[in-house]
Amino acid sequence: MLELQGITAGYDPRRPVVRDAHLALRPGEALGLVGPSGCGKSTLARVAALLHRPDRGTVVLGGRTVTGFRHRAPRSLRTEVGVVFQQPRLSADPRLRLRDLIAEPLRATGRRRGAQEAVAEPAERVGLGPDLLARRPHEVSDGQLQRACLARALVLRPRWLVCDEMTAMLDASTTAALVAVVEEYRRETGAGLLAVGHDPVLLGRWCDRTVHWGDIADS
């Protein structure tokens, strides 16, 4: 289970962005969270991805309460969650070739050896060939870069995926392709998914169930 209990979070303790949010995700479940622009859903997604310390409330991952937050949770826990953000341009180091971009989580966790082989599997999964893997972000389109970001999220084979508006910048075909990649990965590994977005049609088609922001948090 990935559980968020009574989460209050934000960037200024006096003005929290998220108030008293509750969310529970069963293993292998795909949950869609729908909300309007600016409601705080991205902040909650960051909390779920263990990248943001909540002001109040607890995060429970696989029965264990997450402790030891500094700004983020300890790395050993964070590697269980793969994250894809909305804007690939802002979440990719412009100096890295796509191959190194995808390998970055391996490098950061001290698994540099064998990284090149480990990159091949997720890269193929998202449909990036050797030519594209050798390029830097400015040489590829948004869709291709988002494919690399998804491969990066999968390279550590996480048990949970958090996709925050993963497809908002993408055309219809690339959207469908990336969703298919996520679903194939989940079928193989039984990973759970929290997909955050503002398109109820997309999330309804993609996820087992969807919840609305107003139902899980005080607004």
Partner 1 sequence: MTPHPAPPPAGQAPPVLRVAGLHVRFRMRGGRHVEAVTDAAFELGSGSCLALVGESGCGKSVLASALLGLLPGNAETAGSALLADGLDLLAADERTLARTVRGRRVGLVPQSPAAHLTPVRTVRSQLQETVRELLAPKGGKARLRAAGESAAARAAFPADHLDHHPHELSGGLAQRAATALALVGDAPLLLADEPTTGLDRDLVDRTVDELRAHTRDAGRALLMITHDLAAARRVADTVAVMYAGRIVEIAPADAFFGAPGPRHPYARGLLDALPERAFTPIPGAPPELGDLPPGCAFAARCALADATCRAVRPPLTEGVACHRA
Give the binding site for partner 1 (CB under 8 A).
Answer: 36-38, 86, 127, 141-144, 165, 168-177, 179-180, 198-202, 204-206
Select 38 or 110, whichever has its Cβ closest to partner 1.
38
CB of 1 to partner 1, least distance (A): 28
Distance CA 112, CA 158 (A): 18
Cβ pair 206, 175 in contact under 8 A: no
CB of 208 to partner 1, least distance (A): 15
CB of 15 to partner 1, least distance (A): 14
Residue 71 CB burial class (10 angstroms; 0-12, 13-18, ≥19): exposed
Cβ pair 186, 153 in contact under 8 A: no
Select 94 or 110, whichever has its Cβ closest to partner 1.
94
Select 37 or 76, whichever has its Cβ closest to partner 1.
37
Select 8 or 175, whichever has its Cβ closest to partner 1.
175
CB of 125 to partner 1, least distance (A): 14
Select 3 or 42, whichever has its Cβ closest to partner 1.
42
- Compute, in degrees rounded to 10, the torsion defined by CA atoms 200, 202, 206, 208: 10
Whose CA is closest to 115, among 137, 140, 96, 92?
96
Cβ pair 148, 102 in contact under 8 A: yes
Select 105 or 146, whichever has its Cβ closest to partner 1.
146
CB of 191 to partner 1, least distance (A): 20
Terminal C-alpha separation, the chain: 25
CB of 198 to partner 1, least distance (A): 3
* DSSP states along 3-56: EEEEEEE-SSTTS-SEEEEEEEE-TT-EEEEE--TTSSHHHHHHHHTT-S--SE
User: Which helix (DSSP H) or strand (DSSP E) does residue 120 occupy?
Assistant: helix 115-126
